[in-house]
Amino acid sequence: MKKILFLSLVLGILMFSGCKVPESPEISSKCDTLIFELEKDFCYEKEASEQLDLRLCNKISRPEIIESCYMQVARGKHDLGICDMIVNERNKDECFRGVAVEAENENICHHISLNDTKENCYLEIGRIKDDSGLCDNIDDSDKRLLCIAVVEKNLDTCENILEEKQRQTCFVGVAEVKQDLSICNDKIGEQDYKDWCYNVVAVTKQEIGICDMIADQNWTGMKGLCYLGVAVAQNNKSICDDIGDISTKNLCILSVD
């Protein structure tokens, strides 16, 4: 599941860039012989996350992948100092969140400046520790209820959320933690949220057939991400072959061991 979250993070930060790369001694890598730049960059990132070696991150050419690489190493080493090397504020906050979750230390969430990321930090650690009391750190009442509902796996708590999108998001979150497809079908009306729900349940249950229930059949959208997520969850590269978009397919192939 951590690897799936890592993939979502990589996809999410491709729109951001700007990371100062410190000087460091050169290190050889099996990735050095690869021809295509993007493939080589993802290879370096994967090696860096396994070896927890920043020098491999420094061999990456794309700034946005360098930042993602720093996040992986910081998370593995529980090192907030590496997060401070990241320039982009959102990516830095994601790094703090990743370290907090990996270390199961809610006190690190205080380092996060953006509210959404901070709230997710408390929610994720609350899930890990099975402690809905951590949700009390969230000021917004609807988001606090969402957190409690997901941590306690209590669908009824979602019904008390006033804002419609937050309530739909709550249903998705509870469906994911309960691995309950019926919640997607019975509780969620808006199609985008229903597709999102199918995605997270498919990945959690590692069932590729659920991906085909997604209404948006565009491979560059939710369906492609769903196939990619299940492929990684199953560690099954053959699923990548069924993806109709070449970019998503290549990312899938690179992401599965």
Q: What pLDDT, on a 0 to 100 scale, did the predictor assign at position 21?
A: 45
* The model's pTM: 0.82
Q: How far is CA 138 from CA 152, 155, 156, 221, 243, in A?
A: 16, 19, 19, 31, 39
Say if residues 85 and 109 touch (Cβ distance below 8 Å). Answer: no
pLDDT tens per residue across all 257 residues of the chain: 544 444 444 444 433 344 444 445 578 888 999 888 988 999 999 999 999 999 999 999 999 999 999 999 999 999 999 999 999 999 999 999 999 999 999 999 999 999 999 999 999 999 999 999 999 999 999 999 999 999 999 999 999 999 999 999 999 999 999 999 999 999 999 999 999 999 999 999 999 999 999 998 888 889 999 999 999 999 999 999 999 999 899 889 888 87
Q: 56-89 burial, b if ≥16 CB within 10 A, otherwise e? A: bbbbbebbbbbbbbbbbbbbbeebeebbebbebe
Q: Is the C-alpha dihedral spanning 233, 239, 244, 245 positive or negative?
A: positive
d(CA 9, CA 91): 9
Locate 157 and state its tokens: 């708590």
Q: What pLDDT, on a 0 to 100 scale, did the predictor assign at position 16?
A: 39
The residues, any chain, with a CB within 8 Å of residue 158's CB and separated by 6 or more, are 145, 146, 149, 167, 170, 171, 174, 187
* pLDDT one-digit tens code per residue, 184-199: 999 999 999 999 999 9
Q: What pLDDT, on a 0 to 100 scale, did the predictor assign at position 95?
A: 98
Q: What pLDDT, on a 0 to 100 scale, did the predictor assign at position 25?
A: 58
